[in-house]
Amino acid sequence: MKLIIAAIKPFKLEEVREALTAIGVRGMMVTEIKGFGSQSGHTEIYRGAEYAVNFVPKVKLEIAVPASMADQVVETIQTTAKTDKIGDGKIFVLDLQSAVRVRTGETNEDAL
């Protein structure tokens, strides 16, 4: 099993969710986050004063999938979330040791 963590632009969330559902992803966790990477934030003007925005809003997706689906999920997120502009995000793939469905006690891939 793999845990895929992706940070994407917020306006791409629904499009990515639809694409992942279409390939068989049955669930995900979504969190609103702030961060910075290559773009290192930017400056904005508010009421005539310029100030630095050091953290850019993103959406974090956490998706647990069987190892056999991981490459397809990563490719789907990458192609769907891409805007060809700086700040499109990052995708991380981690090994997932175990999973348990709380309601039924099912474990590992049966719990996904």
Per-residue pLDDT of 45-96, as tens digits, reads 667 776 676 778 899 999 999 999 999 999 999 999 999 988 899 999 999 9
| Predicted local distance difference test score (pLDDT) of residue 36 | 78
Report how far Cα 43 is from the mean position of its chain's Cα atoms.
25
Cα four-point dihedral sign 72, 78, 11, 111: positive
| Predicted local distance difference test score (pLDDT) of residue 25 | 95
| DSSP label of 72 | H
| Predicted local distance difference test score (pLDDT) of residue 96 | 96
Helical H segments across the chain, by residue range: 13-22, 70-81
The mean of the pLDDT values for the chain is 91
Over residues 20-42, the mean pLDDT reads 87
Other beta carbons less than 10 A from residue 66's beta carbon: 14
Two tokens at 48?
């005539």
| Count of positions (residues) in the chain | 112
CA atoms within 13 A on the CB side of 95: 1
| Predicted local distance difference test score (pLDDT) of residue 42 | 63
pTM (predicted TM-score): 0.86
> What is the distance between the alpha carbons of residues 25 and 49, in angstroms, rounded to a whole number?
45
